[in-house]
Amino acid sequence: MGTPVIPTEGLTRAAKLIMDDCTHLAVGTGTNTPVVGDTQLQEETNRIAVAQRLQSGAQFQLRATLANNNLPTTMEEASAHMNGSGSPNAGDILIRTLEQFAKGTSDLLLVIDITLT
């Protein structure tokens, strides 16, 4: 049996389906290395509905702006959630990443890029 291949059209459709299910982005202060068994952020501090979805082929981008006055001084982790709500740890986690960033003087634009291969 040969090696199965997902054609570009299939990856594009899968990206669209996943992107459309993403409802919320979150940040937190946890520092544990992400693992495939993660079901939530380690220490979620802020969550907001996805404000913008962009797609080009098998790549998509999720964007949301978090109000500066509610952010912790430093953030270490970020995530995207499918079929979630505004409540911490609601929905299914799609991606968790460690990204160190500090609170600035303006609101935080959180952008998560995902490419299916």
Domain ranges of the chain: 8-32+42-115
Does the pLDDT at position 51 exceed 90? yes
Question: What residues are paired with 110 via a beta bridge?
Answer: 64
- The pTM score is 0.91
pLDDT digits (tens, 9 = 90+) for 99-109: 998 898 999 99
In this prediction, residue 70 carries a pLDDT of 86
